[in-house]
Amino acid sequence: MPVDIEETLVRELHEVAEGLDIPAMPRLPEESARPTRRRQPLLAAAAVVAIVAGAAGAVSTLPDGRDTEPARPGPSPSLTPSPSSSPTESVARVPRSAPTLPHVVDGRLYVDDTEVAGTWWSVRAAGETWIALRDDYTWWWGRGPQPNELPIGEDVTPQISPDGRYVAVVRVEDEEGMLSVVDTTTGRVVGGTPQSLGPVQWDYPPYVVAVTGHGRVVVRRGDGHLLWSPGSLAELVPGQMVLDATSAGLVVTDGDGGPPYLAEISDRGELTRVGDLPEHDDLVVSPGGKWLAWTPAGTTGGEVTSIPTLEVSALEGEQSATLTAPDGWHFKMRTWGWEDDSHLVSTVTDDHGRERMARCRALPAECLLIRPD
């Protein structure tokens, strides 16, 4: 009498499954709120399937010649990291905390996250020091929220050294230009100043264009430059125009309007070229001299009050990027500055005249609105 092995095997497996004592599943939280489900038959069926699968794997060929070799498992799907876990996305996003750099929003000046009394037009910071213009056209400086007034006079425009150590300003007194240099670490006027710069040419009143970390001051007077350093006053070699001082050196152009470049200056007023710069209207250098943020020449003249983008480039190497203001916002003119060698902050404005602060990262380039003041 022929024996149907498959039928016998299935019958015996059912008998085994029916004899299994399957414990109940532990009670889950909120079990009572859910409809009761019969779990034991399902578990028994699962046990049967597992046993059948094991038995089928042990049998190679049934008597009727059918092949019962179990199917080989397919290759495991490759596990690709999600975008959030990829190396490029693991870079921290731009912080949204309050700016560490002094800044002005809607006429309010904030230093160390504290509002300084008064209404203000602008602020410029370097190191731990800031200089700011109040709405009554007086200039002030500080290291922290406490403001200190600078000497006032005709066409007064002070400048600050890249490390924040010195602030220098020229005022007109008795028709002479008088240079004052303040050491911000002590709050005192540096010895040798006020220094007379001679009679004022009223068509071209003297003003400070650059202050170095060594306390040297470059003054524009008429169509030439003077260099003041403690104990001396000298004229710079004609044919070169100093525009600013940065952490990477002085910004200089040739008198004939040639491209700008970086230079160092000696006590005798000699300029030595140390690097190239892009042709620009406005330029700021990060504190460590790593990055430039600049606007291309011809983009910020006239009545331009805001721009949608800023260019950034490394002083060394070929890295560069374009920073785009957050959607619906523009960078307010000449309010941008570097917090550190990676992040730049700026006042931004929208089409309705509202103002906020934004923070940008150089690379990968990204700009975000940060919390309102």
Listed by start position, the domains of the chain span 99-149, 151-277, 279-373
pLDDT digits (tens, 9 = 90+) for 36-91: 333 343 333 333 333 333 333 333 333 343 343 434 344 333 322 333 333 333 35
d(Cα 246, Cα 251) in Å, to the nearest integer? 7
* Contact (CB, 8 A) for 218 and 242: yes
Beta bridge partners of 367: 360
Q: Which range, of 5-14, 288-297, 340-349, averages the lowest pLDDT? A: 5-14
Tell me which fold the domain 279-373 belongs to: Lipocalin (2.40.128)
User: CA 171 from chain center: how many Å?
Assistant: 36
d(Cα 61, Cα 68) in Å, to the nearest integer? 6
- The reported pTM is 0.74
Quick check: helix, strand or coil at residue 168? Answer: strand
Percent of the chain beyond pLDDT 90? 62
Residue (of 123, 116, 131) closest to 166 by Cα position: 131
d(Cα 166, Cα 188) in Å, to the nearest integer? 10
Q: Can you state the angle between helices 40-58 and 5-18, rounded to 10 degrees?
A: 140
DSSP secondary structure code for residue 66 in this structure? -
Radius of gyration of the chain (CA): 37
pLDDT digits (tens, 9 = 90+) for 273-324: 999 999 999 999 999 999 999 999 999 988 999 999 999 999 998 999 999 9
Quick check: helix, strand or coil at residue 335? Answer: coil
d(Cα 340, Cα 289) in Å, to the nearest integer? 10
